Amino acid sequence: MATRFIHTADWQLGKPYERISTEGDKKSQASQARFNVLEKIGERIKAHQAEFVLVAGDLFDSTTPSNPNISKAFDYMGKWKVPVFIIPGNHDHGGPASLWENNFLQDEMKRLAPHVKIILSRDLVIHGDVVIYPCPLLRRSDTSDLTAWLRDPSVHPTEHASKTRIILAHGTVQGFGSSSDEEDDAPGESNLIDVKRIAADDFDYIALGDWHGTTSVTDKAWYSGTPEIDRFPKGENNDPGNILEVVASRGQKPVITKTRTSILNWVSFEHQFTHDDEVAQLESKIVDAHLASTDKVLIRIHLKGSLGISASHELEKLIERIEARSIRLKLKNETTIAPTDEEISALCNDAQNPLIAAVAKKLVQLVNNPTESSRARIALRELYSTYQS
């Protein structure tokens, strides 16, 4: 008999977003989006007619989530009205005296979401016509194969032979891993899951967490990825911001539907200036196209090329607007200032302001000096701004 469920992971509620400015409420906008996406998951539970939800680790971003975040998490899940099976991941690992044994968390879970089950042991969980084989992380880093216990034939009770078999695990398959998914961190080799040693016919679906992009490892083994994007994309094969809607049954290939849930929009631009008019064009591409809403966009911009003094000043004002309207601006500005002939002429031949003309002529000479060029160009821009005012 087919079973319908939602596979999700890596919510990392309470993520601090250290690279986002503390100005205004930008950090809280990003943090709240991770909770708001749970409303979208609730909508998909109904649309998919899901019987339950699997959360493959990292519900929280750390082992010390705040009480308000604990309450908020279970409040959202409480509205789903279906069973939710959760295992700890590397960010919120289990073990003795873990956060999952916290009295406040236990009490709030019972009061707000009594249908949620936190799985802290590698024992079978029977739910109707489904057998769940959990592989929770009981420490942040485990060098053993988390699914090794599943290679023992005795883990399949004969009385459950016809039930759908689902593995729930959080860890690294060769070539993947949350460490290599970070912006700056190096790849890691802990929390390994050797999918190749899991007999394909023994299980019907493997619900994985840890890799933040939606990824198919085999026809039956998938990373759902994080439902809310939390970093700038790293190429076409990195696909975060989804959940998986699954239909599985014993001995059959699962039917998997990827559904977009992300609220935040992480966008990247690269532009090389060849003409001063392109500043206005860039504004249309970025501000007009992406920044109509100020609480959803995080933007990465890499600028190269050269601009005249006036255009360079306009670019500075554009960058200021982008930074104000976006949750985060990650900027790499390699543009140089190349005064136009008209701008140089206006400064150097101003008979009404001989001092400005003299300074401008000196700066123009310094522009050709490799050690002084950068500062001379900036000084020319400032001088031009003073000249125009």
Q: What is the 3-state secondary structure (H, E, C) of 148-207?
A: HHHHCHHHCCHHHCCCEEEEEEECECCCCCCHHHCCCCCCCCCCECCHHHCCHHHCCEEE
State how far the Cα of 263 lies from the Cα of 209, in Å rounded to an integer. Answer: 20
Tokens of 371: 């050690």
3-state secondary structure of 327: coil
Q: Between residues 49 and 365, which one has the greater pLDDT?
A: 49
Q: Count H helices, E strands: the chain?
A: 9, 16
The last residue of one of the domains, among 338, 357, 380, is 338
Q: Are 225 and 260 in contact (CB under 8 A)?
A: no
The last residue of one of the domains, among 338, 356, 378, is 338
State how far the Cα of 313 lies from the Cα of 318, in Å rounded to an integer. Answer: 9
First-residue to last-residue Cα distance in the chain: 77
Do 247 and 306 belong together in one domain? no
Residue 377 has pLDDT above 80, yes or no: no
Q: Are 291 and 329 in contact (CB under 8 A)?
A: no
What is the full DSSP assignment across 48-107? HT-SEEEEES-SBSSSS--HHHHHHHHHHHHTT-S-EEEE--SSS--STT-GGG-HHHHH
Residue 184 has pLDDT above 50, yes or no: no
Tokens of 360: 């401008």
Q: What is the pLDDT of residue 182?
A: 47
> What phi and psi values does residue 207 have, to the nearest 5 degrees?
-95, 110
Q: Are 267 and 255 in contact (CB under 8 A)?
A: no
Q: What is the pLDDT of residue 108?
A: 98
Pseudo-torsion of CA 34, 40, 45, 49, nearest 10°? -160
Q: What is the pLDDT of residue 310?
A: 86
Of 101-115, 250-264, 277-291, the range with the lowest mean pLDDT is 277-291
Residue 190 has pLDDT above 70, yes or no: yes
In this prediction, residues 142-161 reach a mean pLDDT of: 88
pTM of the model as a whole:
0.86
Cα→Cα distances 113→47, 70, 71, 325, Å: 21, 11, 10, 37
Do 196 and 98 belong together in one domain? yes
Range of the structural domain that residue 252 is part of: 3-260
Do 41 and 93 belong together in one domain? yes
In this prediction, residues 193-210 reach a mean pLDDT of: 92
Residue 323 CB neighbours (<10 A): 14
pLDDT of 118-130, one tens digit each?
A: 999 999 999 999 9
Do 172 and 201 belong together in one domain? yes
Do 41 and 151 belong together in one domain? yes
In this prediction, residues 351-368 reach a mean pLDDT of: 79
Do 303 and 225 belong together in one domain? no
Q: Which residues lie below 8 Å from residue 331, measured CB to CB, with a gap of 6+? A: 300, 301, 303, 319, 323
Do 47 and 116 belong together in one domain? yes
Indicate the number of domains in the chain: 3
Do 298 and 243 belong together in one domain? no
Do 238 and 279 belong together in one domain? no
Cα→Cα distances 213→10, 42, 96, 165, 235, Å: 10, 21, 31, 24, 11
343 pLDDT band (50/70/90 cuts)?
confident
Q: What is the pLDDT of residue 338?
A: 77
The last residue of one of the domains, among 260, 295, 316, is 260
Residue 20 has pLDDT above 50, yes or no: yes
Do 333 and 214 belong together in one domain? no
Q: Between residues 277 and 24, which one has the greater pLDDT?
A: 277
Q: What is the pLDDT of residue 238?
A: 81
Polymer length of the chain: 389
